[in-house]
Amino acid sequence: MRNLINILDLSINELDELISVASDIMDNPQNYADKCKGKIMGALFFEPSTRTRLSFTSAMMSLGGQVLGFDQAGSSSVAKGETVSDTVRMVSAYSDIIVMRHPKEGAPIVASKVASVPVINAGDGGHYHPTQTLTDLLTIHKKKGRFDNLTIGVCGDLKYGRTVHSLISAMSRYNNVKFVLISPSELSIPDYVKEDYLNNSKYVEVTDLEKAIPELDVLYMTRVQAERFDSVETYERLKDSYILNHSKLASAKSDLSIMHPLPRVNEIDVDVDEDSRAHYFDQAMYGRYIRMALILMLLKTHGVDDRRGTGVEIEGKVCKNPHCISNSERGIKKLFNSKSKCIYCDQ
Ligand code: CP
């Protein structure tokens, strides 16, 4: 079974292929209209979504396929206490590919261990969001024409921002990429991202957005993730840490790419929307095409079994991350890799 749990599940050659197919779909959509005729996508959204759910739905329908699923856990038997494992086992009997968003980190790994069809991670808590990264990569390809030799500013909630974690892991594989990580210290990038993806990349951690702007080729703004905070007071204090507006862009490069995975709250003023460097709405639009390319790739890939679950139990050891699926899902083993990190959430 071929799944997409982490963006690094795709090689650089496969990313190039996805970008090439997505570009061809944009130019020749009629050639793809029946490619998934007779196929069904199960869309399991345990958390709210506009872009990811609807662009996946649009992608499958544009390929001639059909979609079933739910857009809130409360309308499924999860509300009666059913586990992720049992839910996914059932939906794999009703569909050919599963797209799943879940608030618990590592939930897609649990799903991939029991599913009989490919599983796509559409966002797991504050952990990863690999298909957003595919959208981001297509945007960078279209707007900058390269992945090497870029200085990328990532601004906002770098602690809980799953899109940031996946983007950094993807871009760290390219040459001469420098990351400027702009956040309040309380929302800085987690250690596991630094240890696993930034050990061979140039990066600086700063708090001042305006000082950072002049050197950037890409500025990736993010929302402070209200839903991940344990304290409302902390969220209220940090939520407007950065607000990009027209005047702050005065010192930016003329070919800067301003990106945002959306939804935005206050972090980009609407006065930036008319700036030719504002690429976030194009970025969301590209999501439909790169997801079409991904569905085609995963449905045609057979014979590779990349089910997760490699790791060992360590007597008495549990994951300390309260948001990890291993602390809420009944009946799964608590597994750790050779570095003693939880295999579900990497912490
Ligand atoms: N970027 C993104 O994941 O948006 P949604 O939450 O609307 O899917």
**pLDDT tens string for the chain (347 positions)?**
799 999 999 999 999 999 999 999 999 999 999 999 999 999 999 999 999 999 999 999 999 999 999 999 888 888 899 999 999 999 999 999 999 999 999 999 999 999 999 999 999 999 999 999 999 999 999 999 999 999 999 999 999 999 999 999 999 999 999 999 999 999 999 999 999 999 889 999 999 999 999 999 999 999 999 988 989 999 999 999 999 999 999 999 999 999 999 999 999 999 999 999 999 999 999 999 999 999 999 998 654 455 556 789 998 999 999 999 999 999 999 999 988 999 999 99
Q: Are 187 and 206 in contact (CB under 8 A)?
A: no
Ligand 1 centre to CA of 49 (Å) is 5
Which of 262, 267, 286, 288 gets mutated to test ligand 1 (max ligand atoms within 8 A of its CB)?
A: 262
Residue 140 DSSP label: H
Give catalytic status of residue 52 as yes or no.
yes
Q: Residues lining ligand 1, CB < 6 A?
A: 49-52, 123, 132, 261-263
Ligand 1 centre to CA of 28 (Å) is 26
Give catalytic status of residue 102 as yes or no.
no
Which is catalytic among the residues 51, 141, 223, 308? 51
End-to-end C-alpha distance for the chain, whole angstroms: 26
Which is catalytic among the residues 2, 39, 53, 101? 101
Gap between the Cα atoms of 205 and 179, Å rounded: 9
Ligand 1 centre to CA of 261 (Å) is 7
CATH (residue range 7-128+287-307): 3.40.50.1370
Residue 315 DSSP label: T
DSSP track, 74-133: GGSGGGGT--HHHHHHHHHHH-SEEEEEESSBTHHHHHHHH-SS-EEEEEETTTB-HHHH
Task: Give pLDDT, residue 341.
Answer: 93
Residue-range domain boundaries for the chain: 7-128+287-307, 130-285
Ligand 1 centre to CA of 128 (Å) is 12
Which of 7, 49, 265 gets mutated to test ligand 1 (max ligand atoms within 8 A of its CB)?
A: 49
Task: Give pLDDT, residue 310.
Answer: 78
- Residue of the nearest CA to atom 5 in ligand 1? 49
- Residue of the nearest CA to atom 4 in ligand 1? 51
3-state secondary structure of 5: coil
Gap between the Cα atoms of 89 and 279, Å rounded: 39
Q: Write the CB contacts of 49 (distance below 8 Å, at least 6 apart in sequence).
A: 71, 101, 122, 123
Which of 44, 52, 291 gets mutated to test ligand 1 (max ligand atoms within 8 A of its CB)?
A: 52
Instruction: Please indicate whether the domains covering 7-128+287-307 and 130-285 agree at the CATH topology level.
Output: yes
Gap between the Cα atoms of 284 and 44, Å rounded: 20
In sequence order, what are the beta bridge partners of 97?
41
Q: Atom of ligand 1 at shortest distance to CA of 53? A: 8
Ligand 1 centre to CA of 311 (Å) is 31
Task: Give pLDDT, residue 51.
Answer: 98
In the CATH hierarchy, which top-level class contains the domain 130-285? alpha beta
Task: Give pLDDT, residue 303.
Answer: 44
